[in-house]
Amino acid sequence: MILYEYPLNERIRTLLRLEDLFARFDHFASQSGALEHHVALTSLFEILEVASRADLKSDLLQELERQKQSLGAFRGNPQVSAAALDQVLDRIDAAAQDLVATTGKTGQHIRDNEWLMSIRNRVGIAGGTCEFDLPSYHAWMNRANESRQQDIAGWIAPFRPLRNSLAIVLQLLRESAHHSMVSTQQGSYQQALGGRTFHMLQIRVDPATGAIPEISANKYMLWIRFTAQGGDLRPRPFDGSVEFELSLCNL
């Protein structure tokens, strides 16, 4: 099954983008080649841009505190494992403490590094990081792999509290999902939400169907239109029935 996740507010949209960027960064930073480390560095610059939203840190702290209070209400419930609950609450506490301990604007250490900022300014130009444009970057790319990896690890480290916090929030959000199997005959689906507030929806589709969901939603209605790709990969309306799993997530 292919999982499609659709954020229903800007805060969750930002967290999903950061999660995707961190995953890409990890993949390329763990490799040993200079070109892979170039992609890791460009991913770091994208993380910096997305994470610079002024209220992101405070939003995460508020959400962690809200989840702590909500989960704390389950203490003493015989249907809830006390050990598992304590483990989750300890993770929330540790993430919140690490996030509070971070000072200054998120990613300020990158902005204060003139060499990194010179590279960031050239990344947006097609071919702008060629050796004749940035000889110092070319020299860095030709250092030993271990030296580059050490630098990259140091640059990403201050983002770890932010990443740990958003990982907890997204995990709790996904675990809140209400799953249902849905079938549509005309390649489109609508569902009234009745004014209920959801933060994200998930759609799981069998890739064998060739159906690709295009989603739009507000607090009153959910619309899903399925498309298919032809030989030129351009989306076209999907004809036929589609059975899929729909999950609504709400913190």
Q: Give 39's DSSP letter.
A: H
Query: In this predicted structure, what is the pLDDT of residue 121?
Result: 93
Distance separating alpha carbons of residues 80 and 85, to the nearest angstrom: 7
In this predicted structure, which of 22-36, 77-91, 124-138, 165-179 has the lowest mean pLDDT? Answer: 77-91
Check residue 42 and give its pLDDT.
96
Q: Is the pLDDT of residue 79 over 90?
A: no
Q: What is the pLDDT of residue 196?
A: 80
Token look-up 């992609």 returns 39
Mean pLDDT over the full length of the chain: 91
Calculate the CA 23 to chain-centre distance: 8
Q: With 70 as the cut, is the pLDDT of residue 71 above it?
A: yes
Q: Which residue has the tokens 């609950």?
A: 85
How much of the chain, in percent, has pLDDT values that exceed 90?
65
pLDDT at 26 (0 to 100): 97
What is the length of the chain?
251
Per-residue pLDDT of 87-127, as tens digits, reads 899 999 999 999 999 888 889 999 999 999 999 999 989 99
Question: Quick check: 203 and 244 in contact, CB under 8 A?
Answer: yes
Binned at pLDDT 50, 70 and 90, residue 164 comes out as very high
Is pLDDT above 90 for 2? yes
Asked whether the beta carbons of 251 and 199 are under 8 A apart, the reply is yes
Give the mean model confidence (pLDDT) for residues 56-84. 86
Structure tokens at 33: 């080649």
Domains in the chain, ordered, with CATH? 9-171 (1.10.3900.10), 177-249 (2.60.440.10)
Least confident residue range of 5-14, 66-75, 134-143, 200-209: 66-75
pLDDT (0 to 100) of residue 44: 97
pTM of the model as a whole: 0.91
* 168, two tokens: 């907890």
Specify whether the CB–CB gap between 165 and 99 falls below 8 A: yes
Q: Which residues of 111-137 are buried (b: 16+ CB within 10 A; e: fewer)?
A: eeeeebeebbeeeeeeeebeeeebeeb
At 9-20, the pLDDT tens digits run 899 999 999 999
| 54: pLDDT strictly greater than 70 | no
Q: What percent of the chain has pLDDT over 70?
A: 100
Residue 18 near residue 50 (C-beta atoms within 8 A): yes
User: What number is the average pLDDT over the span 189-210?
Assistant: 89
